Chain A
């Protein structure tokens, strides 16, 4: 009987989609020179960490780097995938990292790869947004906000509360130019618009962001990247640029990444939330039917 045959022998649709996506992402990153690594799912519980299951792949790769699994005389390109465990929920990630690289070219390489990965996933209109929390901080301080007020403003942007952010600006004495610049800081800009915006900004991190924009604008193909200085990143460990990949109907970023330090090694990388992508595909499919 055909009905009996099908029961229990077919993978759920989501599982096969996760596998297909995972395989496509590995294949693409392999072509770009990223070596596959397997990272442990479970570490040892310590007195400070009684939840030994991994919460994201980046930190586990960092652990491998710190334990000398790789020779770090040169840049190391790594990729891996697998389940992750956050609180009571479980997800499935794909991660790509460029370790021991600090140049704007390395940021550009990883951002380009992230853009390509967003294209692979087939999630309708996809957008890659780049921010730079340290540059944002410089701009808030240069705009005339005190460190305390700047910190408040930053927190409002982190919580995406643009109303309270606007109230902080309205309650502060600012020059017309600074008010205009700070009021538009959370709007998405194209690379050319961002380049012009940064011409009027000063500081070490703004200069680094300027160099990154120059590199991105010099690519032979438009990388389809927007800049939003209101983007502050979801993790505290980022030290330079941060980025997120968004698509319609996902409701949350499907890709997150940025520059960070792995045990004193400057690194840049990203993780794709594969289950969020599959969820977005499902909503897209339902919406298209209706």
Chain B
């Protein structure tokens, strides 16, 4: 057998029997934690304090809480085996992870919206969005050159003050759009929470990850998950 270099380089023997989850803080965290609890994983104080890292030594499970925009970084870099993230973020980031299951909560749409009196979609218009890649892809498919304006939040404000002609943004109930006199013109993509895996973890721990994914997904199929969204 070939010689393993671990000892000569001073590395500790590493047993990776633990499973490491990352959940987004914010509106998806509570339902995500409930999904994991029902799948058999829970952490004392998980999500109820300002701590961001939790261990359950009995179950061999670690929980990380991260900003939604950072969840995919933790998964794709192999720090977490599994994560929960919206399909919108997954498509926007184009990060290489394995998309295991549609958890069917946090359902929303990414839409093109405009002020009620100004709905003419035309070349050269300015479109404000937090999703430049998805917006670029959408307008490329329409063969329509536009100017994209990248914003980090409160995108609905942009057309009201003349910064943009239209917006591409996430819509849940549509109430925020309505209150700002914006109307939906088209759906760019539908989104919901997805269970994703690091691709190396998916191959190195296939049984463990498949079991967790099946437990979480089977619960979703029974239609229980939407009650918590």
Contacts and interface: CB of A to CB of B under 8 A. Distances in A.
Given A124-B16, A281-B9, A283-B79, A226 B199 contact: no
A147 B15 CA distance: 44
B5 A21 contact: yes
Find the residue from B2, B9, B198 having the highest chain A CB count within 10 A: B2
Contacts of A119: 1-2, 4
Contact of B76 (A226, A251, A280): A251
Contacts of A125: 14, 16, 204
A124 B199 CA distance: 16
B75 to A, nearest CB: 8
B194 interface: yes
A122 interface: yes
A214 B204 CA distance: 23
B91 to A, nearest CB: 10
Interface stretch (B21-29, B92-100, B136-144, B152-160): B92-100
B206 to A, nearest CB: 4
A184 B2 CA distance: 34
A257 B78 CA distance: 21
A180 interface: no
A138 interface: no
Contacts of B206: 187-188, 226
Interface residues of A, number: 41
Interface stretch (A4-12, A56-64, A97-105, A158-166): A158-166
Contacts of B97: 160
Interface in A117-170: 117, 119-122, 124-127, 129, 160-164
B79 to A, nearest CB: 7
A127 B204 contact: yes
Interface string B171-213: 0000000000000000000000010001111111110001000
B3 interface: yes
Given A122-B4, A247-B204, A248-B14, A20 B9 contact: yes
Contacts of B210: 187
Nearest to A160: B98
Nearest to B20: A287
B101 interface: yes
Contacts of A285: 11-12
Contact of B5 (A116, A121, A250): A121
B51 to A, nearest CB: 14
Contact of B78 (A129, A164, A280): A280
Nearest to B79: A283
A263 interface: no
Contacts of B98: 160, 162
Would you list the 6 A-B pairs with minimal beta carbon distance, nearest first?
A251-B78, A122-B6, A246-B200, A188-B206, A248-B16, A124-B14
Given A160-B99, A284-B11, 19 more contacts: A21-B5, A24-B5, A122-B9, A126-B204, A127-B203, A160-B96, A160-B97, A162-B99, A163-B101, A163-B194, A187-B206, A244-B203, A249-B16, A249-B79, A252-B76, A252-B199, A283-B77, A283-B78, A285-B12
Interface of A: 17, 20-21, 24, 28, 116-117, 119-122, 124-127, 129, 160-164, 187-188, 226, 228, 244, 246-253, 280-281, 283-285, 287-288
22 contacts: A17-B9, A116-B1, A120-B5, A122-B4, A122-B7, A122-B11, A163-B194, A187-B210, A188-B206, A226-B203, A246-B199, A247-B204, A248-B201, A249-B16, A250-B78, A251-B76, A251-B77, A251-B79, A251-B200, A252-B96, A252-B200, A285-B11
Interface of B: 1-9, 11-12, 14-16, 76-79, 96-102, 194, 198-206, 210
